[in-house]
Amino acid sequence: MARRRLGFWQRFAVGLVKPVMTVWTRRTWRGQEHLHHDGGVIIVANHISHADPLVSAHFIYDSGRWPQYLGKASVFRVPVVGWILHRCRQIPVERGSVDAVRSLDALVAALDEGGAVVIYPEGTTTRQPELWPMKAKTGAARLALATGAPVVPVVMWGPERIFDPRTTRVSLRPRIPVTVAAGEPIDLSRWADAQPTRATLEEMTDTIMLRLRDMLAEIRGGTPPPLWERPARSSVGREQRDEAA
């Protein structure tokens, strides 16, 4: 979506957020040319901080696209807030319910209209102690398989200096350095005609996350570890809960 086609509430959001981010951050943008087309695109991003959406939205907007984020459907039911989110073309997503299929339909419709849909495949900020990517959910892979839309990776490093999820500390100092980089679309062609089985979706998801991990290493330095997995709850803990029940 070209900026000249933005509606009133979209322009209002830009006028509210962009000046703040311009003062708050010192930006290094890379690879914006990978977002310079008009068709639908799935943007997959690493998730290191609650400040990520502000930083990535600034980057995507400066690339000439309007970012459409997924948000919990309950937020869209909040008076005024939900109304504004709808008019800013954000996308409600039902989780853990039979309405999840309807959410997928909304995402497909956004892509069919040429939207730039932003997905954090991990579903939450990474729990990896050094903020490297972790094993992710399969939603982005499922959407890519259903639509054939290009999947463009975007990585960022620096938002954790604004809000660090490990310490919950917020920094309000100006010109915090942040780096955001977009890459070429991820090659998922080997699964173009595949059925959305669990194995297929997990293979696609790992391919997406490994690309994000390796791109992140390029902008932050260091040797990336294997994709991190959350520790399983201990059997002792389960037994104690069963006894308590």
pLDDT, tens digit (0-9, with 9 covering 90-100), for 96-110: 655 666 778 889 999
Model confidence at 239, in pLDDT bands (50, 70, 90)? very low
Where do the structural domains in the chain lie, given as residue ranges?
3-244
| More confident of the two residues 231 and 130 | 130
Q: How far apart are CA 183 and CA 188, in angstroms?
A: 14
What H or E segment, with its residue span, contains residue 102? Answer: helix 100-112
Rounded mean pLDDT of 153-171?
97
Cβ atoms within 10 Å, residue 148: 11
Select, from the ranges 33-37, 47-51, 229-233, the one with the highest average predicted confidence (pLDDT).
47-51
Q: Across all residues in the chain, what is the average pLDDT? A: 89
User: CATH: 2.20.25.90, 3.40.50.970, 3.40.50.300, 3.40.1130.10. Which one for 3-244?
Assistant: 3.40.1130.10
Residue 45: closest CA among 135, 130, 118, 137: 118
Q: How far apart are CA 47 and CA 134, in angstroms?
A: 10
Model confidence at 234, in pLDDT bands (50, 70, 90)? very low
In this predicted structure, the answer to whether residue 153 has a pLDDT above a threshold of 60 is yes
- Percent of the chain beyond pLDDT 70? 90
Position 237 scores a pLDDT of 45
Rounded mean pLDDT of 51-63?
96
Model confidence at 242, in pLDDT bands (50, 70, 90)? very low
Helix axes of 139-147 and 198-220: crossing angle, nearest 10 degrees:
110
Task: List C-alpha distances in Å: 175 to 11, 52, 86, 165, 223.
Answer: 24, 16, 31, 20, 27
Position 99 scores a pLDDT of 62
In terms of phi and psi (left: phi > 0; alpha: psi -120 to 50; beta: otherwise), the region of 131 is: left
